[in-house]
Homo-oligomer: A and B are copies of this chain.
């Protein structure tokens, strides 16, 4: 019986599962055809994200991705029209941690005092937990193909306008114009993105560096906040 014949048998997936501290093999039959399709599709997205960590999306070939996902090149087309289309889907997928970040920050804010410290800590956590997603977004934001770049830009603009709303609440008393608010939000988002990229470039080395970068981001945001206290619209 050759290895090829195995594949002709009813579909079976083998997963590693940790139970009671021991690793054992669990055989999971995947019933639905739609479910199996979704699994392959997700696998394509996953392996692409993994491969992207060292290189750019443009340098990845359809064949290479298909190979890594364990399917034949032609089967790729059952899921995506092209590598570019896969890239656009990947933007959506990678934006999830970023959206989660906003939710976390807003929930935490109600609790106690230091918004900046908390926000930076949340940023650090998200980057540490989802490095591949953030790396993908950083890499492709300016370096990528047109469609992917545009998709990322749209999402980031959304992020900035969310922050603008938050800033409007915080400065409810002062005479801030919406233009000034947006300008400030943009400055803060730019600072955070700069921090993300710095975090991604050092994560191989020691944890102290990571702390130093987060501490720097904290001080930078604090500096901006101090400026906000003195700002009045005629300043610009």
Measured in the bound complex, the distance between the Cα atoms of B139 and A87 in whole Å is: 17
Task: Report B-chain residues with C-beta under 8 Å of the C-beta of A70.
Answer: none
Within 8 A of B (CB), among A19-60: 55-56, 58-59
Please determine whether B142 and A144 come into contact, CB atoms closer than 8 angstroms.
no
Smallest CB-CB separation from A221: which chain B residue?
B187
Please determine whether A187 and B138 come into contact, CB atoms closer than 8 angstroms.
no
Answer yes or no: A218 CB below 8 A from chain B CBs.
yes
Answer yes or no: A170 CB below 8 A from chain B CBs.
no
Answer yes or no: A180 CB below 8 A from chain B CBs.
yes
Answer yes or no: A143 CB below 8 A from chain B CBs.
yes
Further 18 A-B residue pairs, CB within 8 A, beyond A140-B143, A223-B227: A56-B143, A142-B197, A143-B143, A153-B201, A183-B216, A183-B220, A186-B216, A186-B220, A218-B236, A219-B235, A219-B236, A223-B235, A224-B224, A226-B230, A226-B231, A226-B235, A227-B228, A229-B230
19 sampled A-B residue pairs with Cβ under 8 A: A55-B145, A56-B143, A58-B58, A138-B142, A139-B142, A139-B143, A142-B143, A143-B143, A153-B201, A183-B219, A184-B223, A186-B216, A222-B235, A223-B228, A223-B231, A225-B227, A226-B231, A227-B230, A230-B230
